[in-house]
Structure 1
Amino acid sequence: MFATVFAFLVIVFGAFVRLSNAGLSCPDWPTCYGKATWPGHEQDIARANEAFPERPFETHKAWREQVHRMIAGTLGVLVFALALVAVGRRRRLPAMLLTAAVAAAFGVFLYIKGAYAASAALSLVAIALPLFAALRLDRGGPWRIAVVAFAVVIFQAMLGMWTVTLLLKPVVVMGHLLGGLLTFSLLGYVALRLTDTRVPTADQRSLQPMVIVALVLLAIQIALGGWTSANYAALACGVDFPKCAGSWWPMTDFREAFVLWRGIGVNYEGGVLDAAARAAIQITHRIGAVVVFGHILATAVLAWRRGLRMPGVLAGVLVCTQVALGIANVKLLLPLPLATAHNGVAALLLLSLIALLVRTQPPHGDDQPDISSFRRSASGYRRNDGSDSVTP
């Protein structure tokens, strides 16, 4: 639960960094102008500006980016600890996770030294080992997911690196957002699944497909939101709502709007798309919001009627809040507190749907011994002397 809350804070702070245009405030990775923290003295700042003349040092931005990296690294350590707890003392699995951690650390070291190919190879090993350990683990779903979360965190670190080295490439920025929310979702699911012991009714279980559809739709909408932000299309329609730039359907260019890969070497800070392409992205995001709003609200109402009142109310309130924040961001020209809150409420809405999913599933009992089956099996054993006592 602590790791889940911490992951939420990392997401919100990451949104604050991105929306305050501090994503490239440290031009190198994982250091910041060659420092473990960031330049503080005048002579350090002078050296930083000399080493990176294309990116002059800005204290008010650099600290945000580097602090975000530090707390994200702390989250990685927490997830690693959870993975170790999940595998317990099972043979070879802890060693796999330790090897993955060492490979990831050496991958970062080699990246700093410029050995990019070797760094990438070690990073792939670091991602593959936890996934293999999760497959080998003889515990139930939540425990395996805790191990998978470690692999996701390692890949998320790579996305953070690529965000800087590929100069805010939109597909990487969007992937980084989704990776953070996936980490948060996996941790939230594990925490809720291992602690919720309530048994759902048949009506509540029948709601599960609708909840899964809601999660898929919300994930797509979050990806659209990340694409909107990464392409600086949040204000493509000006302050008009529900119209866009004074029209119900302005000039749009959907073909250019959703090109995922445009090559390497382009600096995407500030965006490279024209007004028509950005308008297409914004309109798509708005249409998606209507679909997601309707489905989640219907799911919340059904959950309330079937006795899942708390998660149903949370989902309903959060989806309404999220729509209100989206409209307010447009009308008020994307103020930083509201834009950051828009990301935070999206994460909470996602968690509320995960809570609803957990409430529609049978309680977790993978590690509970089946006493009745044990007794039935034991009853078949007899001592050689014919007595009914069972030998341990």
Structure 2
Amino acid sequence: MRLAVTPLRLAAFAAVFAFLVIVFGAFVRLSNAGLSCPDWPTCYGKATWPGHEQDIARANEAFPDRPFETHKAWREQVHRMLAGTLGTLVFALALVAAWPRRAHVAALLAAALSAAVGIALYIKGLYAASALLSALALALPLGAAATLPRAWPWRIAVAAFGVVIFQAMLGMWTVTLLLKPIVVMGHLLGGLLTFSLLAAVALALAARVAPDHAQRRLRPMIVVALALLSLQIALGGWTSANYAALACGADFPTCAGSWWPQVDFREGFVLWRGIGVNYEGGVLDAAARAAIQIAHRLGALVVFGHVLATAVLAWRRGLRANATLVGVLLCTQVALGILNVKLLLPLPVATAHNGVAALLLFSLIALLVRVLPHGVAPKD
């Protein structure tokens, strides 16, 4: 018996796959493998990575400043392959959402072609032409989404393709700009945005129960919760990109033996430091890193209070399953954050901290979709 591929199943599978890509990407970053392939999109000139002794010797000769490390290179290149597969899934979903509107389908096909040619030109060193085609590839899906005469889940599905294209560009810049923190943080947020959009589409297509008046009034509070959580995730990305997770040592809730250690917020939050600096391992001093860590902890307090209040209110208004999921994930995320500090950032715990952040984001999106109008028709 053949299983029909419906838009709901495609969106759900793409969302789950996006979550896996996020978790694996966190594993790559936290295991210090982000620059283990010094070129992009190839790895030491290979579609996979060097495997034979002569290939490894040529790789080391071509990149003397970045000796080949098998245990790291495969992680980075596999992550790129998974991201490429995700892009294909999102492209398929966007086509389904735009079908059979010829102009919108043509825009998506042109975007995919522009992105592919842009990558080829980039590999050949034609950076200006590549940038123009990449900008076109980004603009076409967003324009198609804005003009698509369908309900909001379908428009989001089309827009997600544009987000994936920009996410690919951020992945490229992560390597070529040598782990610049603003790019690394943007890459993390781009992955979570892609996951969030796909999850919203799947949840909306699956929605069957209409909210009552009291539940609909939760929307502003949930939107604020999503905004605060997104800012906190950005702070977490900034903390990781600047290697500030252990700025306080294993000390919690104090930092380096003090409730308010020496901090330098101005230096810690400089977003752009020019091009050419290798940020692997971080470039900030102790005071700047401590400032980032303190900001992340204070942000966690704010997010915990508001999201917990949102979950309690949702429980009282009959959304008990959603509220329970939000509450459990929120407490789990806080516990993982504390364990990261107390255990000095073990890789499994740090990776789980990223994964649960994505799941917490999903739980709030599910809560928001639950209080929005439902009933998207298959041929809408």
- Pairwise same-fold verdict (TM > 0.5): yes
Q: How does 1:25-44 map to 2 (within 5 A)?
A: 25-44=36-55
Aligned counterpart, 1:384: none
Cα offset for 1:307?
0.6
Q: Distance in 1 between matches of 2:376 and 2:156?
A: 15
Aligned counterpart, 2:339: 328
Aligned counterpart, 2:5: none
Aligned counterpart, 2:9: none
Q: How does 1:203-352 map to 2 (within 5 A)?
A: 203-352=214-363
Specify the code of the residue in structure 1 equivalent to 2:371.
Answer: T
Aligned counterpart, 2:25: 14
- Preserved contact between residue 139 and residue 366 of structure 1 (Cα < 8 Å): no
Q: Distance in 2 between matches of 1:203 and 1:77?
A: 40
Q: Once the two structures are superposed, what CA deviation does each residue of 1:27-58 show, in whole Å capped at 9, x if it has no partner?
A: 00000000000000000000000000000000
Q: Distance in 2 between matches of 1:30 and 1:298?
A: 44
- Preserved contact between residue 170 and residue 230 of structure 1 (Cα < 8 Å): yes
Q: Distance in 2 between matches of 1:214 and 1:202?
A: 20
Aligned counterpart, 2:8: none
SS at match of 2:37: coil
Q: Distance in 1 between matches of 2:364 and 2:215?
A: 14
Cα offset for 1:364?
3.3
Q: Distance in 2 between matches of 1:81 and 1:91?
A: 15
**Which of structure 1's runs of 4+ aligned residues deviate more than 3 A?**
364-369
- Preserved contact between residue 139 and residue 367 of structure 1 (Cα < 8 Å): no
- Preserved contact between residue 36 and residue 76 of structure 2 (Cα < 8 Å): yes
SS at match of 1:48: helix
Q: Once the two structures are superposed, what CA deviation does each residue of 1:56-83 show, in whole Å capped at 9, x if it has no partner?
A: 0000000000000000000000000000
Cα offset for 1:365?
3.5
SS at match of 1:92: helix
Specify the code of the residue in structure 2 equivalent to 1:344.
Answer: G
1:91 and 2:94 matched = no
Q: Distance in 1 between matches of 2:63 and 2:108?
A: 37
Specify the code of the residue in structure 2 equivalent to 1:18.
Answer: R
Q: Unaligned regions of 5+ residues in structure 2, if any?
A: 1-11
- Preserved contact between residue 204 and residue 376 of structure 2 (Cα < 8 Å): no
- Preserved contact between residue 59 and residue 68 of structure 2 (Cα < 8 Å): yes
Q: Distance in 1 between matches of 2:71 and 2:288?
A: 32
Q: Distance in 1 between matches of 2:341 and 2:132?
A: 43
Aligned counterpart, 1:194: 205
1:76 and 2:87 matched = yes
Aligned counterpart, 1:110: 121
Aligned with residue 157 of structure 2, among 146, 151, 161: 146
Cα offset for 1:132?
1.1
Aligned counterpart, 2:182: 171
TM-score (norm 1): 0.93
Aligned counterpart, 2:7: none
Q: Once the two structures are superposed, what CA deviation does each residue of 1:283-333 show, in whole Å capped at 9, x if it has no partner?
A: 000000000011111111111111101110000000000000000000000
Q: Distance in 1 between matches of 2:342 and 2:254?
A: 11
SS at match of 2:258: coil
Cα offset for 1:92?
1.4
Specify the code of the residue in structure 1 equivalent to 2:31.
Answer: S
Q: Distance in 1 between matches of 2:118 and 2:150?
A: 30
Specify the code of the residue in structure 2 equivalent to 1:158.
Answer: M
Cα offset for 1:362?
1.5
Q: Distance in 2 between matches of 1:217 and 1:260?
A: 20
1:124 and 2:135 matched = yes
Q: Distance in 1 between matches of 2:217 and 2:375?
A: 18
- Preserved contact between residue 163 and residue 173 of structure 1 (Cα < 8 Å): yes
Q: Distance in 2 between matches of 1:75 and 1:364?
A: 27
TM-score (norm 2): 0.96
SS at match of 2:102: coil
Cα offset for 1:93?
1.1
- Preserved contact between residue 180 and residue 279 of structure 2 (Cα < 8 Å): yes
Aligned counterpart, 1:183: 194
Q: Once the two structures are superposed, what CA deviation does each residue of 1:159-216 show, in whole Å capped at 9, x if it has no partner?
A: 0000000000000000000000000000000000111121101110111110000000
Specify the code of the residue in structure 2 equivalent to 1:230.
Answer: A
Number of residues of Structure 1 aligned to a counterpart in Structure 2: 369
SS at match of 2:55: helix
Specify the code of the residue in structure 2 equivalent to 1:76.
Answer: G
Q: Distance in 1 between matches of 2:182 and 2:102?
A: 39
Specify the code of the residue in structure 1 equivalent to 2:230.
Answer: A
- Preserved contact between residue 114 and residue 134 of structure 2 (Cα < 8 Å): yes
Q: Distance in 1 between matches of 2:167 and 2:343?
A: 32
Q: Unaligned regions of 5+ residues in structure 1, if any?
A: 370-392
